[in-house]
Chains A and B, each alone.
Chain A
Amino acid sequence: MLNNLAVNYEEAVAMILFGIGFCTLLFHRNLVKKIIGLNIMDTAVYLFLASMGYIEGRRSPIADPSVPASVSAFINPIPSGLVLTGIVVSVSVTAIMLALTIKLYKRYHTLNLDEIYMFAKNEDIG
């Protein structure tokens, strides 16, 4: 068990980071820290994917036209592709979260979600 963890230490670290990010996003009351949690969570997944796709001693999957391409020379390109897609997604989600946070801060002058909720509850908008 411990041996397995030591061999796959990158994946183990990724899982711990995912847990940290998930809990921060779920439990922290401060909106900016929630966003930080979100990014830790997403980055953990990218670390996991990247370390899974990497094969010791191989090159990045870019074919050199002068050398005949061989599968055994390259690492697995698909996880890298997934990481890139994932980064695009998480950038756009972070942007929306930040925009909403700015909007809420301008209106209620606090970043604490509980306090915002308290203020908003007293507004009657029908």
Chain B
Amino acid sequence: MMDFIQNFPFFSIVMSLFFAVLSSVLKPKFGEWLAVFSIALSTFFSLSVLFYTLTTGESFTYMMGHFPAPWGNEIRGGVLEGLAATVFDFVLLFSFLGGRSRRKEDIPEEKTKYYFVMINLIQAALLALVYTNDLFTGYVFIEICTLASCGLLMIRNVGRTTLATIRYLIFNLLGSGLFLIGISLLYDITGHLLMENIKTEVASIVSGGQYLQPLLVTVSLILIGLAIKSGLFPFHFWMPDTYGYATTSSAAILSGLVSKAYIFLGIKVIFRVIGFDVVASTHILNVLFIFGLAGIIVGSLSAIRENNINRMIAFSSAAQIGYIFVGIGTGTMAGMVAAIFQIFVHAVTKPMLFISASRLVDVSGGKKQFSYLQGSAHRNRLAGFAFTVGAMSMVGIPLFGGFAAKVAFATAAVGDSKRMIPTILVLAISTVLNTIYFLRTVMRIYMPAETAGNPVARSGNRWPFIFAVTGFAAVNILLGVCPGPVLDLIEKGLSMFG
């Protein structure tokens, strides 16, 4: 009976693909509920996979179609896949609900139902990227993810979002082009597309000493392609426009989930396709490390100069992606655990910031500049509170998720003589920079806006928003107060990868 759970990853992917087709012919009202239902059910599925793999203590592969291992296509479930899918589903659900009020204003009415189609598609793509055990399937779902993200962006029909979409698409296509040529080369030198089989072949290539250079080129192409897609410095220039002008749910999903799914696939490639030791012995991780450090500084400096709240949060995403790559770039197990933990923390923090910022903007006459936002937290208390929680987590105040992630990074860097000093230095600088721009914003929104005899007009919140931000804030604080269990799960999952 328990083994039935092995079907769940497949069910959740196919269910969301099916619902995508279905909601294109349904009325928007039903399409919306269908999307919520689909994400909620798939959260349950992902949780079941997590508990199942924890109980059995081992991962499972699931055969797609009628052909066994070296020929057929496979899905794989393990502790880390279950955990990542659960977090992604949770964040997707709350980002979708939290941006509900903005959707009515940003999306033309006749196109609303297509938004739900895109939500279902992106859910399928995210889950497939998490669960896939086949590199070419990974490529196909990368492209589905890219196209669905473009749909989520351009549905707000103004010039700037169209322009942002095309720039986002161009950078993503560069990244997926590199990924595609990378896996073609890898197929060429190993003759396989399934992750386990490639890993066996790679091990024999490395011990034989032949084709080492093509292997290095392949690893670099795949990892750099995924890094471009996730917006690592210097390829982060599309971020402010993309996240800054999209409708709230889209900005939250794109910054919180889509870029993380590519990094998750990259980590899967490092562990399950090439092998962690092989990747760590090349210098490609050093390149990611250095660009990660540069991304942290450049992203934060650009955020300080921004005068538009959404663009500021977007630039801070560039810095946070930098953290993840610094973690990967340390080339140690502890660094990888820290990077994955940062993926989760950022996935629950950034959407909360976008959602609460959009409500603050709503009560400030729709203007995103800081001068208009003054005192907005008094006009919408819950949004102000949620923004503060997110900002505290970004800065790294103890008891919030961001603090636990920073501690994990610092611990991972200690003991590595070459990387310790730059990592800790950049962590310190970035904390100062984050403090400048996030706490400046928090102070601004809490400034008294009330003038004598002219009380502030309070604005109420609908239940989806309340539900979403309390959920996000609770998880954020939970991750900050007791990160231990999650870190243990990540470690367990990574050892299953190996």
Contact = CB atoms under 8 A, between A and B. Distances in A.
A binds B: yes
Interface of A: 18, 21-22, 25-26, 31, 34, 38, 41-42, 44-45, 48-49, 52, 78-79, 82, 85-86, 89, 92-93, 96-97, 100-101, 103-104, 107-108, 113, 116-117, 119-120, 123, 125-126
A26 B162 contact: no
B136 A82 contact: yes
A125 B169 contact: no
B147 A93 contact: yes
B163 A45 contact: no
Contacts of A113: 166-167
B166 A100 contact: yes
Given A22-B174, A45-B180, A86-B180, A104 B366 contact: no
20 contacts: A21-B177, A22-B174, A22-B178, A45-B177, A52-B187, A82-B187, A85-B140, A89-B139, A89-B140, A93-B169, A93-B173, A96-B169, A97-B166, A100-B166, A104-B159, A104-B162, A104-B166, A107-B159, A113-B167, A126-B367
Given A22-B174, A38-B177, A52-B188, 14 more contacts: A18-B177, A22-B178, A45-B180, A52-B187, A82-B187, A96-B150, A97-B169, A103-B162, A104-B166, A113-B167, A117-B163, A123-B158, A123-B159, A126-B368
Contacts of B470: none
Nearest to B308: A126
A89 B136 CA distance: 12
Interface string B415-429: 000000000000000
A100 B165 contact: yes
B245 interface: yes
B159 A100 contact: no
B375 to A, nearest CB: 18
B181 interface: yes
A107 B367 contact: no
B289 to A, nearest CB: 24
B154 interface: yes
A39 to B, nearest CB: 11
Interface in B214-254: 245
Contacts of B163: 104, 116-117, 120
Interface of B: 136, 139-140, 143, 146-147, 150, 154, 158-160, 162-163, 165-167, 169-170, 173-174, 177-178, 180-181, 184, 187-188, 193, 245, 361, 366-368
B170 A34 contact: yes
Contacts of B361: 126
Contacts of B166: 31, 97, 100-101, 104, 113
A56 to B, nearest CB: 17
B173 A125 contact: no
A89 B170 CA distance: 15
B143 A22 contact: no
Given A25-B174, A92-B147, A101-B166, A125 B160 contact: yes
Contacts of A120: 159-160, 163
* Closest 9 pairs between A and B when the two form their complex, measured CB to CB: A100-B166, A89-B143, A120-B163, A126-B366, A41-B177, A120-B160, A120-B159, A125-B158, A52-B188
Given A85-B140, A103-B162, A48 B181 contact: yes
A21 B178 CA distance: 11
A119 B180 CA distance: 34
Contact of A26 (B146, B174, B368): B174
Contacts of A96: 147, 150, 169
Contacts of A48: 181, 184, 188
A31 to B, nearest CB: 7
A108 B159 contact: yes
A76 B188 CA distance: 12
Contacts of A44: 181
Contact of B177 (A22, A31, A34, A52): A22
B160 A123 contact: yes
A79 B187 CA distance: 9
Contacts of A119: 159
A42 B177 contact: yes
A86 B180 CA distance: 9
A104 to B, nearest CB: 6
Nearest to A76: B191
A17 to B, nearest CB: 11
